[in-house]
């Protein structure tokens, strides 16, 4: 019941796209597409390496990276003109994983009204729509170009 109510109320918060393109090709292409869309890769968390460093037994084919991206001028403006609280939504993350022989890309796709509920004193809906649109564009272009 909880799952049905959540789906009805919020929809899909995690946007997942799947491709047959090789994992490493997606990583490389994503970096290029991010730049073409006036963002930069801030950091990439290679979870396979992180888990190995912690001594965990990781399957050889396990691949999972969290790629954090940012448009510095826009994030700076949001923090300074709107609220420092906006920082909890930054940077944006795109997850690239290897699953069942395919490559998947995921990102958080919160509905603008949900974001506005998080920041009730701010007119954040236009920005939320814009950011979600850019994230969707980056992921789709990455898959198309790979």
Superfamily of domain 13-145: TT1751-like domain (3.30.310.70)
pTM of the prediction?
Answer: 0.90
pLDDT band at 6 (very low <50, low <70, confident <90, very high): low
Angle 17-132-45 from CA coordinates, rounded to 5°: 60
Model confidence pLDDT, tens digit, residues 24-61: 999 999 999 999 999 999 999 999 999 999 999 999 88
State the Cα–Cα distance between residues 12 and 30, nearest whole angstrom.
22
């Amino acid at each position: 019941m909880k799952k049905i109510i959540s789906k009805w109320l919020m929809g899909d918060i995690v946007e997942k796209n799947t491709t047959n393109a090789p994992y490493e090709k997606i990583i490389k292409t994503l970096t290029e597409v991010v730049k073409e869309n006036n963002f930069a890769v801030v950091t990439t968390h290679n979870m396979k390496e992180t888990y190995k460093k912690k001594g965990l037994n990781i399957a050889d084919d396990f691949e999972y990276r969290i790629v954090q991206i940012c448009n510095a001028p826009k994030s700076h403006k949001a923090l300074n003109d709107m609220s420092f609280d906006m920082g909890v939504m930054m940077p944006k993350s795109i997850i690239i994983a290897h699953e069942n022989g395919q490559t998947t890309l995921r990102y958080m796709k919160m509905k603008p009204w949900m974001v506005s509920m998080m920041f009730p004193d701010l007119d954040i809906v236009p920005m939320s729509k814009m950011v979600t649109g850019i994230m969707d564009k980056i992921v789709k272009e990455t898959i198309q170009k790979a």
